[in-house]
Structure 1
Amino acid sequence: MTQTTETVVDRYITLVDRAVHEPEALQELESVFAPQATVQFGELPPVTGLADITEFYRRFYSDMADSKHVWTTTVLDDEGTIEVRFIAAWRTADGQLGSQGGIERVTVDADGLIRELRVLSLESDGA
């Protein structure tokens, strides 16, 4: 049986939503990602290491004026695997709206930090 609980992923998503208005919040990624973590969004090449992950998110959110995620996290096993189902909505700096939903699979290390974050599926609606 799976259980739903507050996790490092919940802190991560809250942090990236904050970063749209507070870019300096990205420095806090070190509190949720392991130093040699890997992030992969869909078919994009994986990004490894805290410095490169921070830069990836800085570029990813650089043209957004607002962003909000709604999500659920479910701990799948005792080895630190978490599934995240999310919906995100945003407004770009030039006023365009967009939304996206998907599933992420996250692996957490023994210290409770994200070791791997992979977006498995995405559904997008650019408005």
Structure 2
Amino acid sequence: MTRTTETAVDRYMTLVDRAVHEPEALKELEAVFAPKATVQFGELPPVTGLADITEFYRRLSSDLADSKHVWTTTVLDEATIEVRFITAWRAADGRLGSQGGIEHVTVDAGGLITELRVLIPQSDGA
């Protein structure tokens, strides 16, 4: 049986949206990610360590004028969380975009994210 709850992932998703308008919010990533955590978006190379993860999100949010995530978090066991999400954004140049996917997240005994993998479905070109 799965259950849903407030987790580090829920705080992370909210933080990513806030960072677009409040870049200083990225300092709060240390309360969400373990120091040697790894983040991997789709086929991009993984980013490891809190400093590099913070810089990754700083670059990502600096290209946006607005961002909004909607998600469902399901705790599968003590160390594994699955997140189904959709996100919509407006780029700094005015272009609009949206995407959905699934995140597979591992957390440590303290509830901090140690690994976050974002699986983005391949477009069929339609």
TM surpasses 0.5: yes
State the one-letter code of the partner of 1:90. Answer: W
1:1-127 matched pairs, under 5 angstroms: 1-78=1-78, 80-122=79-121
Structure 1 segments of 4+ aligned residues over 6 angstroms from their partners: none
In structure 2, C-alpha distance between the alignment counterparts of 1:117 and 1:89, rounded to whole Å: 20
Q: CA RMSD, aligned part only?
A: 1.1
Q: Distance in 1 between matches of 2:114 and 2:28?
A: 16
8 Å Cα contact 1:100-1:122 kept in structure 2: no
Percent of aligned pairs with the same amino acid: 84
CA distance in 1 between counterparts of 2:109 and 2:23 reads: 29
* TM-score (normalised: structure 2): 0.94
Report the Cα distance in structure 2 between the residues aligned to 1:91 and 1:49, rounded to whole angstroms.
28
2: CA distance, partners of 1:30 / 1:97: 30
d(CA) in 2 for partners of 1:87, 1:123: 15
Q: Distance in 1 between matches of 2:107 and 2:32?
A: 9
Per the TM alignment, residue 91 of structure 1 is displaced from its structure 2 partner at its CA by 0.2
Partners of 2:64 and 2:12 in 1: how far apart? 18
Partners in 2 of 1:123 and 1:24 — Cα distance?
Answer: 33
TM-score (norm 1): 0.93
SS at match of 2:77: coil
Amino acid at match of 2:110: D
Q: Distance in 2 between matches of 1:13 and 1:120?
A: 15
Describe the shift of the 1:47–1:53 C-alpha distance in structure 2 as closer, same or farther (beyond 3 A). same
C-alpha contact 1:100 1:123 (8 A) present in aligned 2: no
